[in-house]
A and B are shown apart, each in its own frame.
Chain A
Amino acid sequence: MLGLRKRIWTPRPVKSSYDAVIIGGGLHGLATAYFLARDHGITNVAVIEKRFIGFGGSGRNTAIVRANQRTQENLPLYKEALDLWPVLTRELDFNLMFHNCGNLNLAHGEAALKAMRLQVSSARFLGIDSRLLDPKECKDLVPALDISQRPRYPITGGMYHPPGGIVRHDAVVWGLAKGCSRRGVHIHQGTEVTGIGFERGKVAWVDTDRGKIRTPRVLNAAGGYSAGIASRLMGLRLPISVLTIQAMVTQPLKPLLHHVISSGAYHCYANQTLKGEIVTGAHMDPWPNFTTQTTAAYIKHQAEFVTEFLPCLKGAKFMRIWGGLADMTPDMAPIIDGHVPAEGCFIDCGWGYFGFKSSTVTGRYMARYMATGECPEILEPFALKRFQEHRLMGETAALVDYSANN
């Protein structure tokens, strides 16, 4: 029953040439491959994954989706991404489990309220639902909140964003893999790209540990490893620092939190998965690092801080912590570009810890970029040249520096 024995995807032999090669079997890579096949008829595509699909950030994120970013360049992209979850669920015939629970972001001071008003005003101007709440309204929404003056940073208000929620991240990986596989895309797990070859200023082939593959188009969508690949194989130095970011879950509980709740001052968020676990996490380790090791300080710090504004969680138990890589740019916005450094070379990286929510829509536009060679307007602001021109994108107001001198 229910197509029980039908494989989600099937291993295939590596061919000697593809119309496009995508480095990285994560969400951005799989989504791009899927839309290349779906929208542009380019099905002779290989997704090359060194480990297994969803090994990196795609399987390590905390599955939160939202469209309440800071700038008008970013907001429409994330809004479209929100709208895509139900569409893809139907199209892939795979339940991505979009749980539209809404996000509540807490403010603990005047500066935070101002930042939120900017986000809320921007979102509303662009037709996205988002609103400011006072502490009492926050408490009405989330009864577990402590809105007294007891916490070290008392809650002074919040930003409520009803269209957001959570999506089952593994399901997106598998659903897209299924969609890719059905449309003829090859997914090669356990395969490493070791070189990119150029001929007459254009991409000509990639070398892998399973042989040479000729191709006119290569996409670097390797997440935390993409800056290294860009540097080693594309000769492109990207302004990216890679940091470990950790997240953890408690043992499953009966429904307690009905929204995604986050706090900038405490650097943490909490939401309850459909399985009942409470996921928390947020900020990165304070130094560049390519390991996914966790630290003793972080899990303790999270316990201290999440229980400041959600004191009832003291009675929950952490049961698992994990780490992933965040490829951070100086303005906390991604780098999406094409034909750098040579024709046929595409990059989609620098997503930091926002790569999950935007993955599907970016894949759709990136597929158009790769298929037509023309950059879709919505992706133009993300080009690499903004850093040369000192036109940072302002996705965060603060001057952030994730390099070794931070």
Chain B
Amino acid sequence: MIRLNHLPTLRIKPGAPRSFRYGRRRLQGVDGDTVATALFANGVRVFGRSLKYHRPRGLYSLDGESSNTLVNVDGVPNVCAETTLLAEGMRVSSQNAFPGPDFDLLGFMDALSWAMPAGFYYRVLHKPARLWPLAVPFIRKMAGVGTLSADFQAPGRRDEIYPAADVCVIGAGVAGMSAALAAAEAGLRVVLFESRPWPGGAFEYRPGTARDGVAYYRKTAELAAAVQASPHIRLFLNAPVIGVYSDGLVTAFQRGRPPHPFDERYIEVRAASVVAATGCSERPLLFDHNERPGVMQAGCAHRLARTWGILPGRTAVFSVGHDLGLEAAVDLFDLGVEIAAVAELRQDGLDRALVDALAQRRIPLLRGWSVTKAHGRHRVTRVTLAGPNGRFRKTIDCDLLVASAGFTPVTGPLTLAGARLAFDAHTGFFLPASLPPRVHAAGRLTGRQDWHAVAVSGRLAGLSAVHDSGIDRTAAIGESIDELASLPGPARGTQFVLAPGSGKKAFICFDEDATVKNVDQAMDKGFDVPELIKRFASVGTGPGQGGIPGHNLPLYVHQSGASPDGHPRPTTVRVPLTPTFLATYAGTRLDMSKRTPLHALQVADGGRMERLGVWHRARRFSEDERSREEILAVRTAVGMLDASTLGKFRIFGPDAVKVLDRVYVGDMTRVPRTRAKYSAMCNEDGCLADDGVIVCTGDNDYYFTTSTGRAGMTVEWIRYHTRFDDWDFGIVNLTDAYGVINLAGPEARTVLQRVTDADVSNEAFPYMGYREFAVDEIPVRAMRLGFVGELSFELHVPASWMVHVWNRLMAAGGDLGIRPFGLEAQNTLRLEKCHVIIGSESEQRTTLHDVGLGFLWHRDKPWAKTVGDTALRQTEHQPGRLKLVGFRMADPTAPLPGDGSVIVDRRIRGYVCTARYSFTLKEPVGLALVDDALSAEGSSLAIHEDGCGGRLARAVVTETPFYDPEGLRLRM
């Protein structure tokens, strides 16, 4: 197709061709084309087929309001052709049509639409019952548009940015640019979002003149130049706003084009003030076959010519309800389109100049007329017009029908920001009745259509945003208000929805093939609220999310008299305002995980790293899933565990000990300087929440550890439980400041003694002792603990010295067979010793008593009001609770039951918490939570494992711990 290449409003470079593929065809567009305009220029009229009835669908709008032009681009389904710029070498194909959009085998579905009234699925296909499961695969296959393969890999580069701004302006039309400039003049930082690839909105393509005699496009270009020259305005083009939240949080995404280093990026702005200047889209006119290819909105037809140099048709009929439609008719005539007739819904209130212009061009203007039907199988060939009340019919041949009932203000961002809308009878719009603080509305969405009025309303909004920021703009705001009052106010709008005598094939929602008849059917069933009709008749729930029916549905329901309170009520608008790729939302996918100071060493030593919560940890150091060698090293020689993920805290101040008494169940008033105290925290129900060790490091100064998983919430937990006490204490999270090495095994002391001058003999540093000494002048906090059941030292080392100390110990123990061990070995070792791990042997049904740690509870410290104390008293002897027991298999050669297997009789009586094969004892051992009736030593347990086929394994409750019951190994 030959382009008009002389127009000053063009956004294309006719001399820069771009070739692309469409199905099997090789086509050519030009730089500046969208996929949609390039296809249209190449004569493509049917872009795809509709969801349900497989009706042919074509170019209707240009901003992605409907799903008509969703195509597959380079393997990505549901790409909006209207808003995607053409790139060299693109592979484009149509969707939902086989073999192709012009001839679709499922096209016959359209003839069956009578059999699929609103809510059709709810009423049929379940009789008889066995029909439904058979119908489901068929329904699923028919539903959905676009195919995504299971092995699809998203192409392209993603990014995310979080710019800060004082003012965020949504929409770079005349109002938005005026608002941005007003704010920029005051030196505020402005972020300006525009969904189209260029600024200018509703005026940038129009050759008409403003009241000062200058063409709209010239005035708009001047404004855009000022915006682009302003150092205070950051203009994001091709960047639709997708979300607006409270307190000025605005999200958007931007489509990149060379030289941008991204293909799409996610943008999140926190602005002090928000200005919505989103303008209007066109409100569709409903009549039979109102979505036939060849029917398009006024702006679509006009912009095709003015922006892309493409004549939208040869012979056109217009059926419109606003001056912009008349303006388009005049201009398209001048550009060479034959205009057979202009039907105008309005009887009066038309722009006189435009009426005269039509008359000069001998274009027939039919006031009070409307199109009632579009004819033609795959594209419009003829239209029927009808006069007022549906009388005086007229049929005209044409290949283009420009149809538009009025305007719809784009209020999505405003409602998301918290504005309340009310129906305005003059404009026919839902207009903001109240705006939240620091949110402003401007421009055409307030109903104004005059260039100057739109610009001044934008300036007013910008000044108000400046005022929000504390810079006094009272005088300037007053001037703008006065100026606005002297300019034309909101234009009267039509509320006309449905052409007389039509409705069976008048589609209110294109995406889901819903007709006004379907809406009638929903109302007949008793649905009266537009929100429910929307759901029952599937209106506006498709890919376009109400862009087409959003305004017509409430108007139509209101006109039918069905709405209960007599006012039109809009349906809810939801994020994202423009459908957004998950890839774009996911952005750069930063992984904020944590590594211990020994991470690289652990990996180098063959550690199999796993993510546990935020941490990477080594589960084992060999292929052996049971970690036999690591276990035996600890039991017979010496091993080292990187325990740096433990929570580590300093708490200090005059009231620190009171705090510890509050959250720990033990008595914290007597923690001697040289001893480590093991204790537990409970919640209000007495459930074990955490355990750890507390040491006293100075006057009113303590250091304590928590389990890994609790580290993140410990400060908050403590602050919460002391919130009414006004105590004087400080707490510091040292988790990342210190690393921890657990040096364990009978040779642990030998190794340690080789690296320090301090006396670490059993006499000088006994079990449960605490010492501070130096290793190569590095201060080390050492505790003699025994989680794994051997002589062991827990060494707390400043994080930056961890590698050094680890290497020193490793070298010192080389001749003793020292080796690192991982979590799996630790788990078996501590199981043999029956030491609990929180969350593994405890859960929300178990109190401190239930898991056998009741001895930690100091019942006589009423002053402390210990968290969980009441519950611990009440549950101490309560019958019928789960109890932690140790078990061995009745047959020691029996296979190991899986963790989580249930213990049963006629009911479920408990479950296996952890069971492992003990290399030390040479048989399986385990811990289980069971009903207290089964907890006595010698009780027989029947274990039901998944997949056991009803064959129960037998176990016996035995004395604990399994290993070294006297605890001699800890004290050696």
Identify the A interface with B (CB < 8 A). Answer: 2-11, 52, 54, 59, 72, 86, 89-90, 93-100, 108-111, 113-122, 124-126, 130-132, 143-144, 152-153, 168, 170-171, 174-175, 190, 250-256, 272, 274-277, 293-296, 299-300, 302-304, 306-307, 311-322, 330-331, 389-394, 396-401, 405
Nearest chain B CB to A88 CB, angstrom units = 10
Complex Cα gap A39–B717 (Å) = 49
Complex Cα gap A229–B555 (Å) = 36
Residue of A6, A174, A317 near B580 (CB, 8 A) is A317
Known A315-B77, A319-B543; contact A396-B844, beta-carbon cutoff 8 A: yes
Complex Cα gap A307–B580 (Å) = 14
Interface string of B245-261 (1 = CB under 8 A from A): 11001010000000000
Complex Cα gap A6–B122 (Å) = 14
Do B946 and A253 touch across chains, with their CB atoms under 8 A apart?
Answer: no
A392: nearest chain-B partner, CB-CB: B844
Instruction: Other than A318-B579, A331-B844, give 7 A-B pairs with Cβ distance below 8 A.
Output: A251-B67, A317-B580, A317-B582, A318-B576, A389-B874, A391-B880, A397-B843
Interface string of B167-209 (1 = CB under 8 A from A): 0000000000000000000000000000000000000000000
Task: Tell me which residues across on chain B come within 8 A of A126, comparing CB atoms.
Answer: 908
Task: Tell me which residues across on chain A come within 8 A of B685, comparing CB atoms.
Answer: 330, 390, 392
The answer to whether B862 has its CB under 8 Å from any CB of chain A is no
Do A401 and B900 touch across chains, with their CB atoms under 8 A apart?
Answer: no
B575: nearest chain-A partner, CB-CB: A321
Do B907 and A300 touch across chains, with their CB atoms under 8 A apart?
Answer: no
Task: Tell me which residues across on chain B come within 8 A of A316, comparing CB atoms.
Answer: 77-78, 148, 581-582
Complex Cα gap A389–B946 (Å) = 32
Residue of B151, B154, B564, B944 near A121 (CB, 8 A) is B944
Known A251-B145, A312-B151; contact A90-B129, beta-carbon cutoff 8 A: yes
Known A89-B129, A276-B145, A315-B154; contact A174-B536, beta-carbon cutoff 8 A: yes
The answer to whether B525 has its CB under 8 Å from any CB of chain A is yes
A190: nearest chain-B partner, CB-CB: B564
Task: Tell me which residues across on chain A come within 8 A of B543, comparing CB atoms.
Answer: 251-252, 317, 319
Known A296-B249, A316-B148; contact A253-B77, beta-carbon cutoff 8 A: yes
A156: nearest chain-B partner, CB-CB: B610
Interface string of B101-129 (1 = CB under 8 A from A): 00000000000000001000111111101
Do B139 and A52 touch across chains, with their CB atoms under 8 A apart?
Answer: no
Complex Cα gap A24–B683 (Å) = 34
Do B610 and A109 touch across chains, with their CB atoms under 8 A apart?
Answer: yes
Complex Cα gap A72–B535 (Å) = 37
Nearest chain B CB to A7 CB, angstrom units = 4
Do B900 and A116 touch across chains, with their CB atoms under 8 A apart?
Answer: yes
List which B129-162 residues lie within 8 A (CB) of chain A. 129, 132-133, 136, 139-141, 143-154
Task: Tell me which residues across on chain B come within 8 A of A10, comparing CB atoms.
Answer: 526
Do B144 and A275 touch across chains, with their CB atoms under 8 A apart?
Answer: yes
B546: nearest chain-A partner, CB-CB: A320
Known A121-B902, A319-B579; contact A399-B908, beta-carbon cutoff 8 A: no
Residue of A252, A318, A319, A397 near B143 (CB, 8 A) is A252
Known A125-B904, A315-B77; contact A390-B874, beta-carbon cutoff 8 A: yes
Complex Cα gap A132–B947 (Å) = 9
Task: Tell me which residues across on chain A come within 8 A of B721, comparing CB atoms.
Answer: 405
B686: nearest chain-A partner, CB-CB: A390
Known A100-B133, A190-B564, A252-B51; contact A313-B582, beta-carbon cutoff 8 A: yes
Task: Tell me which residues across on chain B come within 8 A of A393, comparing CB atoms.
Answer: 845
Do B900 and A121 touch across chains, with their CB atoms under 8 A apart?
Answer: yes
Complex Cα gap A389–B874 (Å) = 8
Do B946 and A394 touch across chains, with their CB atoms under 8 A apart?
Answer: no
Task: Tell me which residues across on chain A come within 8 A of B337, comparing CB atoms.
Answer: none
Do A90 and B947 touch across chains, with their CB atoms under 8 A apart?
Answer: no
In the complex, 18 of the A-B residue pairs with CB atoms within 8 angstroms, ordered by the A residue number, are: A6-B525, A95-B126, A97-B122, A109-B610, A117-B900, A120-B946, A121-B946, A132-B946, A143-B151, A144-B150, A255-B141, A256-B149, A299-B575, A300-B585, A311-B153, A313-B582, A314-B154, A394-B845
Complex Cα gap A210–B619 (Å) = 65
Complex Cα gap A288–B60 (Å) = 45
Task: Tell me which residues across on chain A come within 8 A of B610, comparing CB atoms.
Answer: 109
Task: Tell me which residues across on chain B come within 8 A of A274, comparing CB atoms.
Answer: 121, 136, 139-140, 143
Q: Is the interface of A mostly helix, strand, loop or mixed?
A: loop
Residue of B525, B536, B687, B907 near A7 (CB, 8 A) is B525
Known A90-B129, A132-B946, A274-B140; contact A251-B146, beta-carbon cutoff 8 A: yes
Complex Cα gap A130–B947 (Å) = 10
Complex Cα gap A59–B529 (Å) = 14
Do A255 and B576 touch across chains, with their CB atoms under 8 A apart?
Answer: no
Do B245 and A2 touch across chains, with their CB atoms under 8 A apart?
Answer: no
Complex Cα gap A95–B121 (Å) = 7
Complex Cα gap A86–B132 (Å) = 10
Residue of B132, B527, B839, B908 near A72 (CB, 8 A) is B908
Known A276-B144, A296-B245, A299-B576; contact A111-B585, beta-carbon cutoff 8 A: no
Do B583 and A315 touch across chains, with their CB atoms under 8 A apart?
Answer: yes
Task: Tell me which residues across on chain B come within 8 A of A300, comparing CB atoms.
Answer: 266, 585-587
Task: Tell me which residues across on chain B come within 8 A of A190, comparing CB atoms.
Answer: 564
Known A52-B532, A111-B839, A300-B587; contact A276-B245, beta-carbon cutoff 8 A: no
Task: Tell me which residues across on chain A come within 8 A of B141, comparing CB atoms.
Answer: 254-255
Central interface residue in B78, B575, B904, by most chain A CB within 10 Å: B575
Task: Tell me which residues across on chain A come within 8 A of B526, comparing CB atoms.
Answer: 7-11
Nearest chain A CB to B250 CB, angstrom units = 9
Nearest chain B CB to A137 CB, angstrom units = 13
Task: Tell me which residues across on chain B come within 8 A of A95, comparing CB atoms.
Answer: 121-126, 132
Do A320 and B583 touch across chains, with their CB atoms under 8 A apart?
Answer: no
The answer to whether B268 has its CB under 8 Å from any CB of chain A is yes
The answer to whether B393 has its CB under 8 Å from any CB of chain A is no
Task: Tell me which residues across on chain A come within 8 A of B521, comparing CB atoms.
Answer: 4
The answer to whether B832 has its CB under 8 Å from any CB of chain A is no
Nearest chain B CB to A383 CB, angstrom units = 15
Task: Tell me which residues across on chain B come within 8 A of A96, comparing CB atoms.
Answer: 126
Task: Tell me which residues across on chain B come within 8 A of A132, comparing CB atoms.
Answer: 946-947
Nearest chain A CB to B81 CB, angstrom units = 14
A277: nearest chain-B partner, CB-CB: B144
The answer to whether B542 has its CB under 8 Å from any CB of chain A is yes
Task: Tell me which residues across on chain B come within 8 A of A313, comparing CB atoms.
Answer: 148, 582
The answer to whether B65 has its CB under 8 Å from any CB of chain A is no
Task: Tell me which residues across on chain B come within 8 A of A4, comparing CB atoms.
Answer: 117, 521, 524
Nearest chain B CB to A406 CB, angstrom units = 8
Complex Cα gap A276–B901 (Å) = 38
The answer to whether B531 has its CB under 8 Å from any CB of chain A is yes
Residue of B149, B593, B689, B898 near A312 (CB, 8 A) is B149
Do B245 and A114 touch across chains, with their CB atoms under 8 A apart?
Answer: no
Known A89-B126, A111-B839, A255-B141; contact A400-B844, beta-carbon cutoff 8 A: yes
Nearest chain A CB to B392 CB, angstrom units = 33
List which B604-633 residues lie within 8 A (CB) of chain A. 610-612
The answer to whether B94 has its CB under 8 Å from any CB of chain A is no
Complex Cα gap A110–B121 (Å) = 43
Do B145 and A131 touch across chains, with their CB atoms under 8 A apart?
Answer: no
Complex Cα gap A122–B574 (Å) = 41
Task: Tell me which residues across on chain A come within 8 A of B847, comparing CB atoms.
Answer: 390
Task: Tell me which residues across on chain A come within 8 A of B143, comparing CB atoms.
Answer: 252, 254, 274-276
The answer to whether B545 has its CB under 8 Å from any CB of chain A is yes
Complex Cα gap A356–B827 (Å) = 39
Do A304 and B686 touch across chains, with their CB atoms under 8 A apart?
Answer: no
Task: Tell me which residues across on chain A come within 8 A of B123, comparing CB atoms.
Answer: 2-3, 94-95
- 9 closest A-B pairs (Cβ-Cβ)? A276-B144, A117-B900, A303-B585, A314-B154, A314-B583, A118-B900, A317-B579, A114-B899, A144-B150
Do A256 and B150 touch across chains, with their CB atoms under 8 A apart?
Answer: yes
Complex Cα gap A57–B583 (Å) = 29
Known A300-B266, A311-B153, A399-B687; contact A253-B124, beta-carbon cutoff 8 A: no
The answer to whether B20 has its CB under 8 Å from any CB of chain A is no
Complex Cα gap A120–B908 (Å) = 13
List which B925-958 residues lie within 8 A (CB) of chain A. 944-947
